[in-house]
Structure 1
Amino acid sequence: MSRSYTTGDLAKLAGVSVRTVQYYDKRGILSPSDLTEGGRRIYVDSDLEQLRMICFLRELDFSIEQIKRLFAEKKAKLDTTVNLLDRVKNQTGQSLEFLSDISLTMKNQLAWRRLQKRMWISNLATILIFVLCVAWLASRPQSVVWQGVGIGIGLVYVGILLTLSYRFSRKIAYICPNCHQLFQPTYREFVFARHTPKTRKLTCPHCHEKSYCLETAKEA
């Protein structure tokens, strides 16, 4: 039987302040399951699990709007991760492996940030060299030869950017917010998918749902 909690009880069990619970309620990502006649908010076990998973996503630097987007993908107010925890209560074996994948994602966040940093440094260095080459070519006499050199430099520039992008894509994986399985998309999917700084809209090969999946470094 599900227990009921006040706002203060919920905050204490989740290790956050009452103001945090009230803030999430105000932003529409943690609504109480019931209200008393006097307007007192009542929460249940599923609300507690939802709050804990909201805190988990916030620790991964998800914004409130990004969390809302995850809710919208499931066309429901409950976080998809909470749905996973609900299923775990009725299943064994493979469902527990999903939680292990989430734990892996948390551990790999530092490695993911390092990959991101190296990628941006490499891209900026490549762009800088390209700009210098263009400036140098602009000072050369106009001729077919130098035009050919310019085209060659442009092709090399594009090739380097594609190579850097490909290498980065092979070092990361994504966690599906619906089934919580880790997967690696094809390079084509990686390039053309809509994305945020930390998620990419992909079709999961396991559950076949298309949603914004959390990016993480592959396990070494």
Structure 2
Amino acid sequence: MSKYTTGELAKLCGVTVRTVQYYDTRGILIPSELSEGGRRLYSDDDLKCMKIICFLRELDLPINAISQILNEEHPEKVISLLIEHQEKSLSDEISDKQEKLEKLRELKNGLKSHESFSLESIGDIAVIMEGKKKLKRMRWMMILTGIPVTALQCFSIIFWIVKGIWWPFVLWVLVAIPWGIIVSRYYFRQVKYICPECHELFKPTLKEAFWANHTPTTRKLTCTACGHRGFCVEVWGGDGK
């Protein structure tokens, strides 16, 4: 079994010699034995215990609390819970940092698409980024709800051509029209548009938005704030207010 001096133990655990000596005087980590010359000698078990103490100190636990935990009948259970909690905390922190990194990269890429940018253009990009996931989720929901309607349309047309029976197509029309109205109203309640001229967020009327020329991310509208007519960027509009 290995034996470690105070200096060796301190080096292995990344602390100072004075720290190891302090834990000894507090009775938290007493050396397994003393050499003939009176030097403290620590075992492998002491090394493991020291690493646990260092971990608990990183969690900002006071010395008295650490001493009490180590004196418990089953200290490993408490330490195991602390480790699990710290693992989850670090995992959440990593996820948060990763999300921020993705936002920075999106902002960086967004700025590259602007030959000249201002505070207003940066603000526009930030608004787009903020609701990007929500918009994507809503569009996917619309696609999924539209699959049965599309399937019914295909079935009814084939049935009409092959069998000469037209009533399934009428049934599809009776389903498709209300579905289209409900989905369109819901969609346009959830989105807003950024005017490229005044950079204001605005909501067009349902009629204008529905019939406007559009791309997947823009729609040709008249800004209600400045009156400019052109392609405006579609963004998430929250609860539709």
> Could you state the TM-score of these two structures normalised by the residue count of structure 1?
0.50
**Structure with higher helix content:** 2
Which is greater in Rg? 2
Normalization by structure 2: what TM-score?
A: 0.46
